[in-house]
């Protein structure tokens, strides 16, 4: 389960993204940034900030997309990021990292090969979110002893259920 450097690119990588109502405003900013960077975006909802929705449904949509693609990655946003982190990390193969600063975004990639970035739309502003997303997109996985730990994590989690690929 090794991973290569994950630099964004318009033809190589598609980022699946979703949010609940509390994360909608920040999601619009992140989608805009991804487009500016030339990254393909698959926006899986929600579609507005006014209608209350259930975050687990949107989190699962992104989880399914990430698991269906080799080296798939995604971004989830809710009010605090906690709910989306909980739903995402229930699934073997997902390494969701709730990041509130650039340092945790960098380390989530370097040491944990995080394949899902989670943001708290009510906790961080758009400029900090842009910096976190940029760092997360461009920071490669260090591999080595960190890969050994990820392999152990997958082993302890048990077999991954088959998804529609």
Q: Residue 24 belongs to a domain with what CATH number? A: 3.40.1400.10
Q: How confident is the model at residue 128 (pLDDT cuts 50, 70, 90)?
A: very high
- Candidate list 71, 100, 111, 146, residue with the active-site label: 111
Q: What is the number of structural domains in the chain? A: 1
- Candidate list 19, 21, 46, 78, residue with the active-site label: 78
CA pair distance 112, 125, nearest whole angstrom: 25
Q: Which domain holds residue 49?
A: 14-157
CA pair distance 163, 67, nearest whole angstrom: 8
Does residue 132 sit within a domain?
yes
Note if 78 is an active site residue: yes
Over the stretch 74-114, which tens digit does the pLDDT of each residue have? 999 999 999 999 999 999 899 999 999 999 999 999 999 99
CB-based contacts of 120, cutoff 8 Å, min separation 6 = 23, 77, 78, 79, 80, 81, 82, 98, 100
Q: What is the pLDDT of residue 160?
A: 65
Helix H segments across the chain? 24-36, 55-68, 82-88, 102-110, 126-138, 145-157
User: Phi first, then psi: what are they for 111, rounded to 5°?
Assistant: -100, -25
CB atoms within 10 A of CB 164: 6
Note if 19 is an active site residue: no
- Residue 57 in tokens: 């449904």
More confident residue, 43 or 159: 43
Does residue 1 sit within a domain?
no
Q: How confident is the model at residue 158 (pLDDT cuts 50, 70, 90)?
A: confident
pTM for this structure? 0.88
Kindly report the average pLDDT of the chain as a whole number.
90
Does residue 65 sit within a domain?
yes
Does residue 9 sit within a domain?
no
């Amino acid at each position: 389960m090794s991973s290569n450097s994950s630099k964004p690119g318009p033809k190589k990588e598609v980022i699946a993204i979703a949010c609940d109502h509390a994360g909608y405003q920040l999601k619009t900013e992140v989608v805009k940034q991804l487009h500016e960077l030339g990254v393909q975006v698959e926006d899986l909802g929600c579609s507005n900030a006014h209608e209350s929705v259930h975050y687990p449904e949107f989190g699962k949509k992104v989880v399914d997309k990430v698991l269906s693609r080799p080296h798939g990655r995604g971004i989830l946003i809710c009010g605090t990021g906690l709910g989306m982190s909980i739903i995402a990390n229930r699934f073997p193969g997902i390494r969701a990292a709730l990041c509130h600063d650039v340092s945790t975004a960098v380390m989530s990639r370097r040491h944990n090969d995080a394949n899902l970035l989670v943001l708290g739309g009510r906790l961080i502003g758009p400029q900090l979110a842009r910096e976190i997303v940029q760092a997360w997109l461009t920071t490669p996985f260090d591999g080595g002893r960190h890969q050994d730990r990820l392999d152990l994590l997958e082993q302890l989690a048990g077999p991954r259920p088959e998804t529609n690929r």
